[in-house]
Amino acid sequence: MKITQISLTFIVCTLTVSCVSSSQPSHKNVDHTSIPVSRGFQIGIAGLVPRHFPESSEADYLDFIDEIPRLGEFFGVYAAWDDPFLTEQIEIAQQMKDIIPLVIIGFDYQKAEEGYFTENRDAIIQTLFEISSAYDMPYLGFGGEVNRLASEISEVVYQEFINLYLDGFNALKAEKPDLQVFTVFQYEYMTGSAFLSGLGVDPQWNSLFRFEGKLDLAAFTIYPFLDHKQVEDIPVNYFQALNQNVNLPIIITETGWPSENVVINGQVLVNGSQEAQSEYLDWIIQSTEDLKAEILMYSFLHDIPRDLELFNSVALKQNDGTPKPAYTHWVALAGRPFVVIE
């Protein structure tokens, strides 16, 4: 989805049904003081979104570059393979002191029709090669929320992507065997829920086997408000299916909760508030520890004004740079030392 000159990856949902909550909401809010003083996972911010985006000034970008290193170890660069500003975004990340770019090269869903991945195979793999050769990075992702292809477009297109991914994986690993190569799945779609998408989605865990073991890790975007109206409704076993179906290192490439109510056609579909956002952050921090996930990325630093109201207020700051309470919690999380747990 092209928002301005800089491309970002977002979930695109067709909002046609009400939010459906799980029965037996059983988790409790996490007390900030109970969270350990160290953390067993690394963190970062996803998306090149300075304050006043998309009308950011040069000063806004410079402040953003200066701030990101205080918010974790990673910065998420998520852009389409044919985005003319792809390398520019990576180079901006390279300017951030002591930051590891988490680069995920995606595609424009509006172009992803039958034949698209086959016809662009060579150009896409060449782009992957150029990025992996030009920049020193431990991870390289290809494809964002790819399991949505099966639900929103067709199984044929999804299989064409998988074929392309396997070719790209083999080629990259032949040149850089230590590079961690992966694709990104949308968790709520994977579990067969994502009710706010407006689709009847069947569980998609079998799709992992279609990647023929060519995944160095399992990466997910996680947005529980696609299923649950309020944080208190998220069940305590929310990641049970993940534990049962995945035996790979796990990273969370995007997550968040709205700081304002999501209202569609006069109906409140998600109870959002700054307090709820902070409660969600507590929950996802604890869940990341429990999952032993390696990386947690939050989306985004600043809110982005756009038509897709579902994601308008998920960021840690308002568009003008005003911090929300969740930002303070994130800063505290970043201040906890990362400790490798054997």
**Buried (b) or exposed (e) across 265-304, using 16+ Cβ within 10 A?**
eeeebbbbbeebbbbbbbbbbbbbbebebbbbbbbbbbbb
Is position 331 within any domain? yes
pLDDT of residue 341: 65
Q: Which ranges of 14-136 would DSSP assign to H, the alpha helix?
A: 58-67, 86-94, 116-119, 121-134
C-alpha to C-alpha distance for 253 and 250, rounded to whole angstroms: 10
Residue 305 is part of which domain span? 32-335
- The pLDDT tens digits for 33-82 are 445 589 999 999 999 999 999 999 999 999 999 999 999 999 999 999 99
Is position 103 within any domain? yes
pLDDT of residue 196: 66
Per-residue pLDDT for 234 more than 60? yes
Per-residue pLDDT for 12 more than 90? no
Average pLDDT over residues 210-214: 95
Is position 13 within any domain? no
Per-residue pLDDT for 104 more than 80? yes
* HSE (side-chain half, CA atoms, 13 Å) at 256: 31
Is position 27 within any domain? no
Cβ(182)–Cβ(218) under 8 Å? yes
Per-residue pLDDT for 7 more than 90? no
- Percent of the chain whose pLDDT exceeds 70: 86
- List Cβ neighbours of 94 (8 Å cut-off, separation of 6 or more): 101, 135
Question: Is the Cα torsion angle 78, 81, 82, 86 positive or negative in sign?
Answer: positive
Alpha-carbon separation of residue 15 from 22, 72, 267, 276, 284 (angstroms): 19, 33, 11, 22, 25
Number of independent structural domains in the chain: 1
CATH of the domain at 311: 3.20.20.80
- The pLDDT tens digits for 293-316 are 999 999 999 999 876 678 999 999
Could you tell me which residue, 90 or 11, shows the higher pLDDT? 90
Is position 131 within any domain? yes
**Buried (b) or exposed (e) across 1-20, using 16+ Cβ within 10 A?**
eeeeebbbbbbebebeeebe
- The pLDDT tens digits for 153-192 are 999 999 999 999 999 999 999 999 999 999 999 999 998 8
C-alpha to C-alpha distance for 128 and 103, rounded to whole angstroms: 10
Is position 10 within any domain? no
Is position 274 within any domain? yes
Is position 2 within any domain? no
